[in-house]
Amino acid sequence: MRLFFACFPPAPIRNAIGAFQKELQNAVADPGVRWTRHEQFHFTVRFLGEIAEPVVPRLVEAATRVCTEQPTFSAALGSLELLPNSRTPHTLVLGLRIGLVEMATLARALDKAFRGLDLGIAPENRPFRAHLTLARMKNPRAAEAVLPLLQRSWQRLDQIPSFMVESCTLVRSELRPDGPIYTPLAECLLQHSAEKL
């Protein structure tokens, strides 16, 4: 199974992001751009890759333990960006202006816990970069229509309210020609949410 852990914004925030995405779609009329479906908006905290199904319970147990030690935190969307850069872009993303440190701390804690399980999961060597994917671009020239929007997008994003991150979800990703299918497998509550149970 192809798995990753992610933080999903609450539905009202995903809807607000969807409205912002629609504005971008109107400005970037390019068939080479594949837009992320609203229900799939998320911040990947730790990508795991192909994992054998018998291993999943141990992953969930470790992630649950990590999450109960990490407090819930507030997050707010930041800038609109092109990854890996504006010269050779293939992904249009939203960053965070609030909650980046906390999400990075959660990512490091999960990585450390998974390394301790000795399950053959490669340690994450790249610096953590919180981002929510809005679109993937098959044709780098599609980014030419996006570039003018990058500088002024912050004004629009500033209107989307902050939100609380209260859990981290284990997700199965099935790659399809028309886009991935995501199936949540387990939700691990962060500290304050877990204390409410």
CATH classification of 2-195, choosing from 3.90.1140.10, 3.30.565.10, 3.40.50.300, 3.40.50.2000? 3.90.1140.10
Q: Is 131 an active-site residue? A: yes
Contacts of 108 (CB under 8 A, 6+ apart): 128
Residue 59 to residues 40, 68, 76, 85, 113: CA-CA distances in angstroms?
A: 22, 14, 28, 33, 9
Rounded Cα distance, 66 and 167, in Å:
11
Q: List, for residues 14-62, the tens digit of each pLDDT value.
A: 999 999 999 888 877 777 788 999 999 999 999 999 999 999 999 999 9
| Catalytic one of 38, 42, 90, 192 | 42
pTM comes to: 0.91
User: Cβ(71)–Cβ(48) under 8 Å?
Assistant: no
Q: Is 90 an active-site residue? A: no
Q: Which amino acid is at 23?
A: E
| Catalytic one of 38, 90, 131, 192 | 131
